[in-house]
Amino acid sequence: MSGSKSVASPGRNDEATRAKPGLVFIRPPKTASCSVENVIKLALGPSADYVVPAKTVQLGRVGALDAKHCFVRGHVTWNDAAWLVADPAAWRPIMTFRDPIERTLSHYRYLRQRASSPRLDLDNEPLIRETLARPLRDLIHDESSGFFNWTMPIQTLFLGSTLRGRDPRHPLPDETRLLDDRGEALRCALGRLDRLAWIGIVESLDRDLRVLAFSQGWPVVDAPHANRTKAVSAESAAFSELDPATRQVLADRVAADYVLLESAREIAAERYREMVETIGMVHNQRGESA
C-alpha cells in the first residue's frame, strides 16, 4: 500500500475531475457508517456535488454519474452497487463491520429514540412503533415482526447474498428472513472481503480511518462519534435487555456475521501493518537521501 496525491475536491469548479476511483459504501445500518461518512465529507471538502444518493445507484442510473461524483452514500448492498464495482478503475467498495449483537441492540435503541424526533419518520414508523411497544427479546422470537428482519446476519447479507435494496429506509424484503442458503451468502461475502478497498471495524475505527486517509492521500481525521446512540434511559435499557437464552438465539442467528467479522478484523489489521511498514520505509529512504 502506498500513499497518493490528495483528492481534488469535486464540485469546487467545473473543471474538477476525480483524481482516483470513487468510493461506494456497502452500508448495513448501525455499523458506524455515519461517522465514516462524516470523515469522508470532511476530507473531500464542503461541496455536496460529489455525493451520489443510494437510490441513484440502486436504479442503475449511469447517466446520473459524471466525473465530479466520487462518493456513494446510503444503505447500499453489494448487489445494488454491482454494476459500479465491476469497474474497479472507476469505483471501489468500502465497508464497516460491527459485533452483530451490538449492532442489533444499537439498531433497536436507535429506533426507539427516533420516536422523540421532532420530525416524524414515516419510513421507519412501523419499526418505531414495534420497538416502543415491545421488548427486544419479544421481537427476536417473533417472525411476524418487522424488526425480526433485522435480527438476521445483515452484514453477511449486505455483502454476500443476492439481496438488493428497495428504498434503503424501508425494512428488508420478507424473503431475506426466508433465505435458506446462508452458507452460500457467507462464502460469497468472505470472497468479497479482499475486493473491499477499505475495511473499518467499529472497535478499531480510529485506527482504520488512518488507513483510509493514507490510501486516499487525505489528512488524518478521527471519527467524530457525534452520531453515537444517546445515553440509554432506564426504560430503554430494560426493554433492550436480553436473557442468556435469547442472547444465544440471536448469536446463533447471526453466526455468519461473526465469522465474517473475524475475517474482516484480520484483513483490517494486516492493512494497518502494511501502512505502518510503508511509512517507515518512506522515512528511512528520506533519511538516507538527506
pLDDT digits (tens, 9 = 90+) for 33-52: 888 988 888 888 777 678 88
Mean pLDDT, residues 241-249? 95
Q: What's the pLDDT at 5?
A: 38
How many CA atoms are closer than 13 Å to the CA of 90, on its beta-carbon side? Answer: 13
Closest CA to 232 of 126, 117, 108, 130: 108
- Rounded CA-CA distance 174/152 in Å is 11
Mean pLDDT, residues 229-257? 84
Mean pLDDT, residues 170-190? 68
pTM score over 0.85:
no
Q: Is residue 232 very low, low, confident or very high in pLDDT (cuts 50, 70, 90)?
A: low
Domains defined along the chain, listed by start: 22-289 (3.40.50)
Residue with more model confidence, 3 or 92? 92
Q: Is the pLDDT of residue 174 over 90?
A: no
Residue 175 gets which letter from DSSP?
G
Q: Is residue 248 very low, low, confident or very high in pLDDT (cuts 50, 70, 90)?
A: very high
Determine contact, residues 94/40, Cβ cutoff 8 Å.
Answer: no
How far CA 134 is from CA of 130, 139, 148, 188, 241, in Å, comes to 6, 7, 12, 35, 12
CA angle 96, 203, 103 (to 5 degrees): 60
Reading the block at residue 191, the C-alpha cell is 470472497
Determine contact, residues 260/192, Cβ cutoff 8 Å.
Answer: no
Q: Is the pLDDT of residue 9 over 50?
A: no
How far CA 83 is from CA of 55, 64, 68, 72, 241, in Å, comes to 14, 14, 18, 13, 41
Lateral strand order in the sheet of 51-53: 51-53, 71-76, 22-26, 91-97, 198-201
Query: In this predicted model, what pLDDT tens digit does every residue of 83-105 receive, in sequence order?
Result: 888 889 889 999 999 999 999 99
Mean pLDDT, residues 127-146? 92
Cβ-based neighbours of 119, under 8 Å, separated by 6 or more: none
Residue with more model confidence, 209 or 65? 209
Range name among 78-82, 120-124, 283-287 with the lowest pLDDT average: 283-287
Query: In this predicted model, what pLDDT tens digit does every residue of 251-274 receive, in sequence order?
Result: 999 999 999 999 999 999 999 999
